[in-house]
């Protein structure tokens, strides 16, 4: 790097330090992990839980993902001009089969990190609390179209994977499609215990509980003719929404939560193509509630209008993951966000 570029980088870093946010250098194609770290940092509930973790017994463990994540999130909160040190975290992921020098899918790495936290924390109570931050409990119902018997199965997922159409989409439309009934026929027929054979059926998913942090995965990558292509089509999404009003048919009869309103606090953005791209992030600051744009080591203040530019369209940056925080009455008055 030339002296001029060094001075320019330092100047940008110093100006960005006043935001209370730190960038992250790009090591060996680490932009995917960098953006996830920015979204984790904006999810203050996760950092608070990790701060409660007593790590005396794992201080020297370079393979422990939650330990290294805790260290990085602490460093990212410090108001220093240079990018936060996170090379140890990247090497730790590498030792846990999330290799460096490889392009990754952000949702897959996100789920890997959460699973590794669950596996590697010695305080399983805290590990479960972290998982519960993102845990979406669902009930799958399969009804036989011949005898009308219904089979149910409960499960959970840590992100909500939404199929998008090759056209204009809205988050509400994508959620409605996820929860509507689907008919299963032909090779997709399910075994009916009542009939004793595979029969045509209809299937739907219902919510049993919603998490504090709702991660939405917009499935923009699609297998086609032996390869993978990216869908650049538009997906609009709101800054705030009420789940109970957005998708009224999504709830199980056993759903008992009252708080279903969510506010957006992080957006993982993908630019480029399926096999050659770059990740950045928009995150909302915990204290001043302003939006910031993080592109590796460079962080700058942004606006909701800039975030909306990630709705998509040809040759444009596209939102790939949305992180929403559930607003509860205990949180007190919330700031007014722009529409």
Q: Distance between CA atoms of 100 and 198, rounded to whole angstroms?
A: 45
The C-alpha atoms of residue 138 and residue 204 are separated, in whole angstroms, by 10
Of 153, 158, 108, 100, which is closest to residue 128 (Cα–Cα)?
A: 158
Q: How far apart are CA 36 and CA 24, in angstroms?
A: 11
Catalytic residues: 31, 278
User: What are the two backbone dihedrals, phi and then psi, of residue 213, each rounded to the nearest 5 degrees?
Assistant: -110, 115
Contact 67, 127 (CB under 8 A): no
CA distance 136 to 69: 23
Tell me the three state secondary structure of residue 6. helix
Q: Calculate the alpha carbon distances from 17 to 11, 13, 131, 183, 301 in Å.
A: 10, 6, 31, 54, 11
């Amino acid at each position: 790097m030339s002296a001029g570029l060094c001075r320019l980088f330092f100047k940008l870093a110093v100006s960005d330090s006043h935001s209370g946010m730190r960038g992250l250098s790009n090591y060996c194609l680490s932009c995917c992990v960098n953006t996830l770290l920015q979204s984790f940092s904006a999810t203050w509930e996760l950092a608070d839980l990790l701060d409660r973790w007593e790590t005396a017994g794992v201080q020297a463990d370079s393979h422990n993902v939650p330990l290294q994540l805790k260290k990085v999130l602490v460093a990212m909160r410090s108001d220093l001009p240079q990018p936060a040190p996170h090379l140890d975290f990247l090497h730790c992921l590498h030792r846990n089969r999330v290799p460096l020098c490889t392009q990754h899918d952000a949702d897959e790495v996100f789920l890997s990190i959460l699973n590794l936290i669950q596996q590697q924390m010695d305080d399983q109570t805290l590990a479960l609390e972290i998982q519960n931050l993102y845990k979406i409990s669902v009930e799958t119902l399969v009804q036989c179209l011949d005898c009308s018997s219904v089979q149910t199965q409960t499960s959970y997922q840590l992100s909500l994977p939404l199929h998008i159409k090759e056209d204009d989409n809205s988050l509400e439309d994508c959620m409605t499609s996820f929860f509507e009934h689907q008919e299963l026929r032909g090779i997709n027929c399910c075994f009916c215990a009542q009939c004793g054979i595979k029969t045509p059926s209809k299937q739907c998913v219902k919510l049993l509980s919603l998490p504090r942090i709702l991660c939405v995965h917009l499935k923009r990558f699609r297998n086609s003719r032996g390869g993978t292509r990216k869908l650049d089509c538009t997906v609009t999404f709101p800054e705030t929404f009420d789940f109970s009003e957005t998708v009224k048919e999504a709830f199980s009869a056993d759903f008992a939560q009252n708080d279903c309103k969510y506010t957006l606090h992080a957006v993982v953005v993908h630019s480029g193509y399926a096999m050659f791209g770059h990740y950045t992030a928009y995150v909302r600051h915990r204290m001043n509630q302003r939006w910031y744009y993080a592109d590796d080591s460079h962080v700058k203040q942004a606006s909701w209008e800039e975030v909306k530019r990630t709705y998509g369209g040809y040759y444009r940056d596209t939102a790939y993951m949305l992180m929403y925080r559930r607003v509860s009455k205990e949180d007190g008055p919330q700031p007014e966000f722009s529409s």
